[in-house]
């Protein structure tokens, strides 16, 4: 029985690696323990039966199983995976394969494996993926695994995070910032759409010019046109002088239209004309003015649904939807949660002139396993309340519970506290469907084919639905 066990410091978890290729197994073990600092004891075996024997006798937190090494357990790899999953008793199970058999990988996922990774194993990517799975399945505190940040950008133009999802966003911003074409940003509330717009402006050739932002949902409908295009003197009572609108003020720079889906239909037609001609007329003015701006818009709503509901012009959408960027929700990048939490704690502690010793392991586990419906903004607000409400020290679960006033379910309710029955919020069907499909794609590392197979739908169905959601910028 070929076995290799190594321990690196005080272990916070146990990992079982099943791979008949002993040199490869030892290389993976060495990479995970030494190069990347994964605090876990790693045991390697060369067959499925050896793995089954060990799983019966001792507990493991992670099982990495090469599908071609499980033939002595069953002729069918999915049956072998089912046996390992049952014996693993809740451990994270990751199937490894040479990547040539998509059906085998899908079969392993259906048999209970939490993920599939193609060989050869990339050390940093594997540790990052294990970290994401640990956080997603509530094992982040037990395993104490975080995604390595050395091989990725952690701070980028106002964004904080080194997950693979954010690396893709950074790459997109870097590629399209130099263009003058319109950008259409989508994402849930609190994901940083305004930060994305500012990054696109700052990193482009117009960075030295002005960026003017206008929130289409915050301005009354009857004032929106004058705010966007300006007012001529005498246009209406109270218009005592000429006044430039946001489009003119942004001449030579960037015009950011936030919550574009809330714009009135009558004004949408004028915005379309402005985009087509590059000219505008102030309210009460007969002449036209030429303006050179780059337009960036954003929405947290489904634009195709708005079009279907006759609330958004289809021709305007396709005029704006030239360079799409989709910002992933925080629940799809769990390894960034504690990175953000520490960043906000340091920032607000400095502002309030207080000293904190970080988060207790219990608090880190609670934060890392939260669903965060309000995304980064919700986490930011929670940390700020913690800093304001307390004087310092290590943040404990009791402090976290006291600061969690939004009742979003981030902090579990103590058993001693009276519970009040609350009807859960019901999302529209298309939003639930979108969440299920995007979470499935994220679980397969962006592989649409594997996600489609797991959901028992065709890849073309996913592509068609993502087109309808205007989320074409998600990593694939």
For the domain bounded by 331-403, which CATH number is listed?
1.10.8.60
Mean per-residue pLDDT for 201-210?
94
pLDDT number for residue 241: 78
Mean pLDDT, the chain, whole residue set:
80
457 band by pLDDT with thresholds 50, 70 and 90: confident
Segment 269-296 shows an average pLDDT of: 91
- CATH entry 3.30.70.1400 includes domain 155-326: no
pLDDT band at 237 (very low <50, low <70, confident <90, very high): low
Residue range 267-292: average pLDDT? 90
What is the tens place of the pLDDT at every residue in 136-178? 665 654 555 544 444 556 788 889 988 877 888 898 999 999 9
Please report the pLDDT score of residue 240 as a whole number.
66
Q: Which residue has the higher pLDDT, 2 or 136?
A: 136
pTM score, whole prediction: 0.62
Helix pair angle (193-202, 164-176), 10° resolution: 40
Q: Decide if 215 contacts 227 (C-beta within 8 A).
A: no
Query: Which comes out higher in pLDDT, residue 412 or 395?
Result: 395
Most confident of 19-33, 147-161, 192-206, 405-419: 192-206
Which listed CATH number (3.40.50.2300, 3.40.50.300, 3.40.640.10, 3.40.1390.20) goes with 4-143? Answer: 3.40.50.2300
Position 278 pLDDT exceeds 70: yes
What is the average pLDDT across 211-224?
90
Please, which pLDDT band fits residue 115 given cuts at 50, 70 and 90?
confident
pLDDT of amino acid 422: 46
- Residue bearing the bigger pLDDT, 230 or 412: 230
**Mean pLDDT value across residues 268-295:** 91
Task: Quote the pLDDT of residue 179.
Answer: 92
| Lowest mean pLDDT across 86-100, 167-181, 241-255, 288-302 | 86-100
In the predicted structure, residue 417 carries a pLDDT above the cut 50 = no
Cβ atoms of residues 406 and 420 within 8 Å = no
| pLDDT tens for each residue of 12-71 | 568 889 998 888 888 878 777 654 454 557 888 999 899 898 888 777 888 999 888 888
* pLDDT over 70 (residue 396): yes
């Amino acid at each position: 029985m070929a076995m290799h066990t190594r321990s690196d410091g005080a272990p916070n978890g146990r990992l079982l690696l099943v791979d008949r290729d002993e040199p490869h197994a030892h290389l993976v073990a060495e990479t995970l323990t030494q190069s990347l600092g994964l605090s876990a004891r790693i045991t390697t075996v060369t067959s499925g039966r050896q793995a089954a024997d060990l799983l019966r006798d001792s507990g493991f937190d992670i099982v990495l199983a090469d599908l071609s090494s499980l033939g002595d357990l069953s002729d069918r790899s999915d049956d072998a995976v089912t046996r390992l999953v049952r014996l693993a008793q809740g451990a994270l199970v990751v199937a490894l394969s040479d990547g040539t058999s998509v059906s085998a990988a899908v079969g392993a996922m259906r048999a209970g494996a939490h993920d599939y990774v193609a060989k050869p194993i990339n050390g940093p990517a594997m540790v990052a993926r294990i970290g994401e799975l640990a956080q997603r399945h509530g094992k982040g505190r037990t395993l104490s695994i975080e995604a390595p940040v050395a091989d990725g950008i952690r701070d980028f133009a106002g964004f904080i995070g080194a997950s693979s999802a954010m690396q893709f966003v950074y790459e997109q911003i870097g590629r399209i910032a130099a263009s003058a074409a319109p950008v259409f940003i989508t994402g849930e509330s609190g994901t940083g759409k305004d930060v994305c717009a500012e990054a696109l402006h700052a990193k482009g050739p117009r960075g030295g010019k002005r960026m003017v932002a206008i929130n289409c949902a915050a301005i009354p409908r009857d004032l929106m046109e004058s705010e966007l295009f300006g007012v001529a003197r005498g246009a209406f009572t109270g218009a005592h002088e000429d006044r430039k609108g946001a489009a003119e003020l942004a001449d030579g720079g960037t015009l950011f239209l936030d919550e574009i889906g809330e714009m009135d239909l009558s004004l949408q037609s004028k915005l379309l004309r402005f985009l087509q001609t590059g000219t505008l007329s102030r309210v009460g003015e007969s002449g036209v003015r030429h303006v050179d701006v780059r337009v960036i818009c954003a929405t947290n709503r489904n634009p195709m649904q708005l079009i279907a509901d006759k609330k958004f012009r289809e021709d305007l959408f396709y005029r704006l939807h030239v360079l799409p960027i989709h910002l992933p929700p925080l629940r799809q990048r769990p390894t960034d949660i504690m990175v953000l939490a520490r960043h906000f704690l340091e920032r607000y502690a400095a502002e309030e002139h207080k000293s904190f010793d970080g988060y207790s392991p219990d608090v880190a586990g609670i934060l890392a396993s939260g669903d965060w419906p309000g995304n980064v903004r919700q986490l930011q607000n929670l940390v700020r309340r913690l800093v304001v409400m307390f004087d310092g020290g290590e943040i404990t679960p009791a402090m976290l519970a006291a600061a969690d006033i939004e009742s979003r379910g981030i902090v579990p309710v103590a058993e001693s506290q009276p519970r009040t029955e609350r009807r859960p919020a019901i999302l529209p069907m298309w939003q639930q469907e979108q969440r299920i499909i995007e979470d499935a794609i994220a679980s397969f590392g962006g592989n649409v084919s594997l996600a489609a197979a797991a959901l028992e739908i065709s890849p073309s169905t996913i592509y068609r639905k993502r087109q309808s959601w205007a989320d074409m910028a998600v990593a694939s």
